[in-house]
Amino acid sequence: MGVSGWFKLGGRSIFSWAFTFQRLTGIVLLIYLCMHLTYLTTLLDKTGATYESMIALTVSKQFLIFDVLLVLCGVFHGINGFRIILHEFGIAYEYRKPLLAVALVLALAVWLYASYVMYYLTGG
Amino acid sequence: MSSESAKSVLEPVAWLLQMITGLLMIVFVTLHFYVTHMVSHEALHYQEVIARLNMPEFKVMYTVLLLIVSFHAFNGLRAIALDTNAGVRNRNAINTLTMLMFLVAFFYGLYLLISL
Amino acid sequence: MAEFKIRRFDGKKSFWQTFEVPAKKGMTVLEGLYYIKENLDSSLAFRASCRMGICGSCAMKINGKPRLACETQILFLGDKITVEPLDNFRVIKDLITDFEGFFAKHKAVKPYLIREDVKYEEPKELLQTPEELNEYYVFTLCIKCGACYSVCPAAATLDGYLGPAAMAAAYRFCADSRDKGNEERYEIASSSNGVWRCHLAMECSEVCPKNVEPAKAVQMLRRKTAFSILKSILRW
């Protein structure tokens, strides 16, 4: 089927979707890590002017949507990853359905809370 | 099927480290995010950042975070690439390349950390 | 009447064909396929044998999910049935797929007891407690129908991947107290096409018609494989 098998619609359980999103969010976070390190290069300008101009651009209302989406990726990847580690050690394998539900609810709650705080801090 | 690299040390070690770094990241990334985005965005001002980076406890924390994040990220990329036919055909190239990328990311970050 | 929409393949092109089947209560999808073959189109090709969920021949994608045609009742799914060959397998004709590779992978993990003291001239009784049997019993129920392999995202992108069924078989023997061939199987399982390619999508356990839980077997095999390699390195 090829890579399209990871994104096939229909006939898949929610576990398989969790796998697909774990991959997608992982790639997003990898790209973000590279961007983050590049971004921090501006710290080398010891006057701080370059860095401050970047902060003025990225810590803003216009940029908030990207931050919120990034946090969603991170929170999902972290909580879903924790669930997978539990199963890899044979823990709670029989309870995989409720555990997935708990993980998704928890990810949603953490994401909403973090988004709210960031919205509040950017003066929303 | 293929019995090549039957005793590959990289695979079990990478598998174990991927889990360990993953667990550590839950703690460290949350901490990192808490400091920069949860208390006040004042923390993102240049002077604040430089002051924080010069505190030994933060320097150690950021070094550890950098190490585990770069490993987790590029080992994850390695796993995704090796899941494909083309990936397994070029297994050694992928292993070398992703581990090299991990080292580049880590040492670049370390260079930033030290020079500030 | 039930409408059977079947994805067919004649060796060159793939096409959909629809048939009307008089469905009665209790009639299975396999019986529907036999009805079509006997009354409507004798060229329809599918594999089936035991009609009781034991032989593993008739796994096919029914309404988007791999199921055994002989254990799926038509009216349980409604009056519209879509039948397709399994994914991740090469289609030979209509619903018949190529299982050569699947069986070769099964063979590759040495799915039999390995012992040094087996002498056919002097057969020996191998004792086992019920607890020891329970360690692996559920994994013996596999009928090699290929449903797990057809939904595995790792098998979808990597042709050589051993797959859930073969690794469940490997674990079934590794967990058997009478077996002495663990090391040989760990070596096979630790190849690039083995345990490391599983990322726990757990789709295999979801579709298994015998509830074998292949995803669990792969996890346990991976743990054993990883620690056996790490142990051998540390000793050396």
Q: What is the mean pLDDT of chain C?
A: 94
Contacts of A89 in chain C (CB under 8 A): 219, 223
- Looking at the fold, whether C77 and C138 belong to one and the same domain comes out as no
Of A26, A48, A78, the CB nearest to B76: A26
CA distances from C66 to A114, C21, C32, C147, C235 (A): 40, 21, 17, 6, 45
Q: Which domains does chain A have, with CATH numbers?
A: 13-121 (1.20.1300.10)
Task: Report pLDDT for B3.
Answer: 40
CATH number at residue C226: 1.10.1060.10
With cut-offs at 50, 70 and 90, classify the pLDDT of residue A21.
very high
Rounded Cα–Cα distance for residues A52 and C151 (Å)? 50
Torsion of CA A92, A95, A96, A100, to 10 degrees: -100
Q: How far is CA C61 from the centre of its chain?
A: 13
| Interface test mutation site (partner B, options C161, C192, C221, C233, max chain B beta carbons within 10 A) | C192
A92 to chain C, closest Cα gap in Å:
11
Q: What is the pLDDT of residues C140-196, one digit of tens each?
A: 999 999 999 999 999 999 999 999 999 999 999 999 999 999 999 999 999 989 999
B108 is a domain residue: yes
One domain for residues C119 and C228: yes
Residue B113's identity, in one-letter code, is L
Q: Which two tokens mark C234?
A: 């540390």
pLDDT value of position A41: 93
Q: Choosing among B36, B37, B49, B52, which should be mutated to test the A contact, i.e. which has the most A CBs within 10 A?
A: B37
Whether residues C62 and C156 share a domain: the answer is: no
pLDDT tens readout for residues B79-105 = 999 999 999 999 999 999 999 999 999
> Per-residue confidence at C73, pLDDT binned at 50, 70, 90?
very high
Here the tokens at position C89 are: 């397998």
Domain boundary among C82, C97, C112: C97
Asked whether residue C139 falls in the same domain as residue C213, the answer is: yes
On whether residue B43 sits in a domain, the answer given is yes
Which two three-digit tokens encode residue C97?
A: 């797929």
Do C134 and C59 have their domain in common? no
Q: Are residues C42 and C126 in the same domain?
A: no
- The answer for residues whose C-beta is within 8 angstroms of residue C149's C-beta and 6 or more apart is C86, C88, C89, C102, C155, C163, C164, C165, C204
Q: Do B6 and C190 touch (CB under 8 A)?
A: yes
Number of domains in chain C: 2
Q: How far apart are CA C17 and CA C40, in angstroms?
A: 12
Whether residue B4 lies inside any domain: the answer is no
List of chain B residues whose C-beta atoms are within 8 Å of the C-beta of residue A20: none
- Domain span at residue B99 reads 10-115
Residues of chain A in contact with residue B76, where contact means CB-CB under 8 angstroms, are 26, 30
Q: What's the angle, vertex CA A104, arms to CA A98 and CA A107, rounded to 5? A: 140
A60-64, A111-115, C218-222: segment of lowest average pLDDT = A60-64
B46, two tokens: 């240049």
A33-86 pLDDT tens trace: 999 999 999 999 888 899 999 988 888 888 899 999 999 999 999 999 999 999
CA pair distance B80, C197, nearest whole angstrom: 9
Averaged pLDDT for residues C122-127: 87
The answer to whether residues C134 and C193 belong to one domain is: yes
CB-based contact, A15 to chain C, within 8 Å: yes
CB contact under 8 A, B1 and C222: no
Domain span holding position C110: 100-235
- C112, C24: one domain: no
B88, burial (CB in 10 Å: exposed 0-12, middle 13-18, buried 19+): buried
Q: Is residue B62 part of a domain?
A: yes
Within 8 A of C201 by CB-CB distance, chain A residues are 15-16, 18-19
Same domain, C152 and C88: no
- Tally the domains of chain B: 1
d(CA A17, CA C155): 16
Q: Any long-range contacts for A105-113 (C-beta under 8 Å, 24+ apart)? A: A106/A79, A107/A75, A107/A76, A107/A79, A107/A80, A110/A75, A110/A79, A111/A71, A111/A72, A111/A75, A111/A76
Residue B37 lies in a domain: yes
- Complex prediction ipTM: 0.90
**How confident is residue B5, by pLDDT bands cut at 50, 70 and 90?**
very low
For residues C48 and C154, state if they share a domain: no
Q: In this complex, do B26 and A78 lie within 8 Å of one another by their Cβ atoms?
A: yes
CATH of the domain at B61: 1.20.1300.10
Establish if B5 belongs to a structural domain: no
Confirm whether B1 is domain-assigned.
no
Chains that touch C (3 or more CB pairs under 8 A): A, B
> Is the pLDDT score of C220 beyond 50?
yes
- Indicate the average pLDDT of chain B: 90
Mutate one of A12, A20, A25, A95 to test the C interface: name it (highest C CB count within 10 A): A12
Size of interface B-C (CB pairs under 8 A): 68
Domain-terminating residue out of C97, C130, C161? C97
Nearest-Cα distance to chain C for A117, in Å, is 33
Q: Do C75 and C171 belong together in one domain?
A: no
